Structure 1
């Protein structure tokens, strides 16, 4: 296995970046698949980048967020029991949906979300009880009080066919706020995330501001009614492409958001004319996009840098039949679960050379025999990005998505956490007296030994 650092780059003509489509539930999400064999890249990151320091949780620390998808339990066989929370401040649960007319908020897979049973569950218990992924996330929060869970609405799939059209209607927005907060209370979340891909300029952009304003007011009123001192969080996943972010009313939105989560990936892919970086911080002369330039635009437009989070990929995009970076290609490869998209844990492939471009803060692997290039973030680049965002005074990192990460020192989530070193310790919520579920209302208490206690609802 070869490993190469690139310290310089060549300039290319500007082009157009495509929309971010990776944050979606695949059409055949519950199909079976045998993943590619993972190849371990033997790099001593502790020696190379000084990652030996401890990671602590404290007031004012950085956030380290990651999405968990409700379809991960199927072909990927990745459950909440597999989530390693040591280096996380937030888990985003993807995705919930909205009615495009009424605005009613709904879950999208009740079996996965609320019904599937895990070891230790007793589905013969009396009462109306929560099971599924969401019970397990609640239990994770009990064990780690600085871990917050956020219910995410939309994504690429649930932004299509006008799913967010309700945002331009005041009555429908009110329905969304009420029903979304009830989902939060029923299932034990700490906040809501809006991943609208993407609002158009004018009426939709104005509706987005109104949606955030009214949701923020609803969450604050909900916390006050319960006597909660810690505010519920409201976040938005926002685009890196100028054709989409220029529609947003950033200054008006900022006052209502806890965090802006920049989708800092999918700068190139099947829509590109040449192979290119997936998620470069600098450069982007050919794709027309870079994380640095995009971040600068948002901050100048009115986003608070202390709320601004940099999204990073735990996947790569393939380019087949290409002579290398910034060269024409033909095809994107089969991918791990869908064409052209590869789980990070399956990378790099055997006989590929890995290139870390420390000037542009981007990376890729290339096999000259197969003429196959895959652009993805290595631990080296994830560490460099995390160092960069810390130096910029930004809020932290966000990842898509957890099932694709590696374990141990090769984990990108872990790498970011240890680079940022000090993580946010804002306390989560455990009190949900208005939940429809008896075990959530009772707090699913944990004994001092860490075993579940059979409370009154059992």
Structure 2
């Protein structure tokens, strides 16, 4: 079984946080505005925390937090993760930072400077890994993406890569470059939007299995492949279920409801919640809207698939969306399959 070897360079010593499967969660810097703090993280249930987002300078010579107001939380998260022996991966790029990442990736000089800046950042902050999050679109961008990943890996940095959750995209990435990555984070979020004419799952786990197999078939070690799945659902006005038409977004924050919010919504008898076998996902239908989301059955299904096929684990996006009660928590659902030795009912100290 693949082991994740992590070097914590900030303390000038090699530390090994090993896990057969990753059970990870994303911690975006905007959580500061939702009153979720590093102290709220259930570290004992995690192997990895993915903190986002940092962004490079135009010439690649430095990186900085995209929201410097969150620097104190980042420092606290780094300290607690180290204390709890949880790998901290810092995500560079992400939504809204595509042009900055592209500019660096497309320039050989900037790639070299970026690799040096990343190495310096890791050495100075004691993080476990850097995750490159930039989704290329054109053929030349995929080539530049591979060169960027290789530059960072060749600088001696433990690097992970976010990739597009698509069968076609799996054929476009450089398998050589992805082979240098510690983890390949396969993004399987936001498959449904208001632009779609009919309702489909927001994260179709039957399709997820096809995507993971496509990356493995393209030459990426299955043990490096980690699906990233949402801890939120999407709502659609006046839809009557999967395959039906809709009239735009429904309830929630611009049509989004976190998983923990959904558990409150479903306390009422207004929604009929079912598990769709064909897509391995959940759907909830009321008189006014349809909600597509992932719950305990779908998460258990995907985790079992990951375990049975020796994929790398599962990461959840984002950590604040989970329910705190272990019997309802999706983090616990995944963990019970991938890390059954953990005591998930133990009270947090």
- Name the TM-score class by shorter chain: 0.7 to 0.9
Within 5 Å, which residues of 2 pair with 1:32-181? 59=18, 61-74=20-33, 76-102=34-60, 104-113=62-71, 132-145=72-85, 147-159=86-98, 161-181=99-119
Describe the SS at the equivalent of 1:311.
Answer: strand
- Distance across 2 between alignment mates of 1:319 and 1:140: 39
Question: Residues 187 and 110 from structure 1, CA distance in 2 versus in 1: closer, same or farther, beyond 3 angstroms?
Answer: farther
Describe the SS at the equivalent of 1:384.
Answer: helix
Within 5 Å, which residues of 2 pair with 1:312-331? 312-331=229-248
Question: Residues 352 and 334 from structure 1, CA distance in 2 versus in 1: closer, same or farther, beyond 3 angstroms?
Answer: closer
Within 5 Å, which residues of 2 pair with 1:296-445? 296-336=213-253, 339-348=254-263, 349=265, 350=268, 351-367=270-286, 369-370=287-288, 372-409=289-326, 410-421=328-339
Is 2:167 the partner of 1:235? no
TM-score by length of 2: 0.86
Whose RCO is larger (CA < 8 A, sep 6+)? Answer: 1
- What's the RMSD between the two structures over aligned residues? 2.1
Task: State which structure, 1 or 2, has the greater radius of gyration over its C-alpha atoms.
Answer: 1
- 8 Å CA contact retained: 2:56, 2:100: no
Residue 311 (structure 1) shift: 1.3
- 8 Å CA contact retained: 1:151, 1:184: no
Residue 170 (structure 1) shift: 1.4
- 8 Å CA contact retained: 2:323, 2:330: yes
Q: 4+ residue runs of structure 1 moved beyond 4 angstroms?
A: 57-60, 242-246
Question: Residues 243 and 271 from structure 1, CA distance in 2 versus in 1: closer, same or farther, beyond 3 angstroms?
Answer: farther
Question: Residues 210 and 243 from structure 1, CA distance in 2 versus in 1: closer, same or farther, beyond 3 angstroms?
Answer: same
| Equivalent position of 2:11 in the other structure | none
TM-score by length of 1: 0.67
Is 2:123 the partner of 1:204? no
Describe the SS at the equivalent of 1:149.
Answer: strand
- Distance across 1 between alignment mates of 2:112 and 2:92: 16
Question: Residues 353 and 242 from structure 1, CA distance in 2 versus in 1: closer, same or farther, beyond 3 angstroms?
Answer: same
- 8 Å CA contact retained: 1:405, 1:413: yes
Describe the SS at the equivalent of 1:275.
Answer: coil
Which residue of the other structure, out of 110, 127, 130, is the alignment partner of 1:189?
A: 127
- Distance across 2 between alignment mates of 1:303 and 1:296: 10
Unaligned stretches of 5+ residues in structure 1? 1-56, 114-131, 221-231, 283-289, 425-458
Q: Which has the larger helix fraction?
A: 2
Describe the SS at the equivalent of 1:298.
Answer: helix
| Equivalent position of 1:24 in the other structure | none
| Equivalent position of 1:126 in the other structure | none
Figure out how many residues of one structure are paired with residues of the other and give that number.
322
Residue 403 (structure 1) shift: 1.0
- 8 Å CA contact retained: 1:319, 1:330: yes
Any idea what the Cα deviations from partners look like across 1:82-115, whole Å, max 9, x if unmatched? 11111100101110112344453222222211xx
Residue 323 (structure 1) shift: 2.0
Any idea what the Cα deviations from partners look like across 1:407-456, whole Å, max 9, x if unmatched? 022111111011112589xxxxxxxxxxxxxxxxxxxxxxxxxxxxxxxx
- Distance across 1 between alignment mates of 2:214 and 2:154: 27
- 8 Å CA contact retained: 1:358, 1:381: no
Question: Residues 346 and 421 from structure 1, CA distance in 2 versus in 1: closer, same or farther, beyond 3 angstroms?
Answer: same
